[in-house]
Each structure stands twice: as structure tokens, then as C-alpha cells.
Amino acid sequence: MFKQLAAIGTIYENYMIKRGRVEARRILLQQDEKTLGDIGIDRSELVQGVGYWPWDGTVTQQEKDQRNLVTMKSANKAIRELHAYSDRELHDIGINRGMIADAVTNGRPGLDNDRPPRTPVSTGGDRQAA
């Protein structure tokens, strides 16, 4: 009997917490950006709903961190795979062993659209043809 009452109490408590957050969200959505910034509330999370509680940017940051972790894992997998290639295979795709990590994270200079080709740095002593 006590376990059943405790379970009902927990259900009611969770309901009241959610109800309070819904009401707080309703009130906070009426506030201007300055007020929300002063109290540390992120409007983008507030708009997303109660699931993004505590609306201070932590949920969004955790999602970004999770995406970055997935990206890092896939980059590490690509780096390991490229290290397994022979020097000839790497040459065929336009990189050498020393360029593997850079090519995975930034693309191949001059070939991938994400990054412009590197231009040689002038030392000032270059002569031009007459």
C-alpha cells in the first residue's frame, strides 16, 4: 500500500514540476531579449519547449557536443583508414602520409571546394622575368 501511495505521490510531483515549467515558459516568452539575457535564459531553447529545460543554453550545447563527437569519430575512422593505404594509393588521391589528418579535417587544397589552394609565400627576393 505504501509503495502505491509513493508512486502516486511521485506521479503528482512530476506533474506539478512540468506544470510549473509550462507556466514559467509562458511568462518568460513574454519577456524581452535584455531581460532574458540578464537572467541567463536562451530564447531559442525557450521557444523549443519544456523539453529544453533549464533554457540556459546547456541542452543546445550538449547537442552540439554530441554532433562534434560523432564528427570526430568519423574523422578518426577516416584517418585510420587512410593510414592503411599504401603510399601509391595516397599519391593517387593527391595526398601523402603527412597530409592525412589535415586532408580529413580541412580537405585537399586546390581540390576540395571548402578550402582555397595554398599560395606560396613570397620572401621578397623573388625576381620577375623581364
Cell (9 digits) for 19 = 506544470
On whether both 40 and 81 belong to a single domain, the answer is no
**70 and 86 fall within a common domain:** yes
pTM over 0.95: no
The pLDDT confidence band at residue 44, using thresholds 50, 70 and 90, is: confident
pLDDT score recorded for residue 42: 83
pLDDT for 19 equals 92
Q: Which residue has the higher pLDDT, 126 or 32?
A: 32
The answer, yes or no, to whether residue 41 has pLDDT greater than 60, is yes
Q: Quick one: pLDDT at residue 112? A: 57
Tell whether 67 and 44 lie within a shared domain: no
Q: How many residues does the chain have?
A: 130
- For residue 103, the enclosing domain spans 57-118
Cβ atoms of 78 and 69 within 8 Å: the answer is no
pLDDT at 81: 92
> Is the domain of 64 the same as that of 111?
yes
User: How many structural domains are present in the chain?
Assistant: 2
Q: Is there a cis peptide before residue 54, judged by omega within 30 degrees of 0?
A: yes
Residues 92 and 106 in one domain: yes
Residues 26 and 66 reside in one and the same domain:
no
**129 within domain boundaries:** no
* Poorest-pLDDT segment among 10-19, 22-31, 52-61, 116-125: 116-125
The residue from 56, 72, 90 where one domain ends is: 56
- Torsional sign, CA 20, 25, 27, 33: positive
Residue 130 domain-assigned (yes or no)? no
- Cell 525557450, residue located: 46
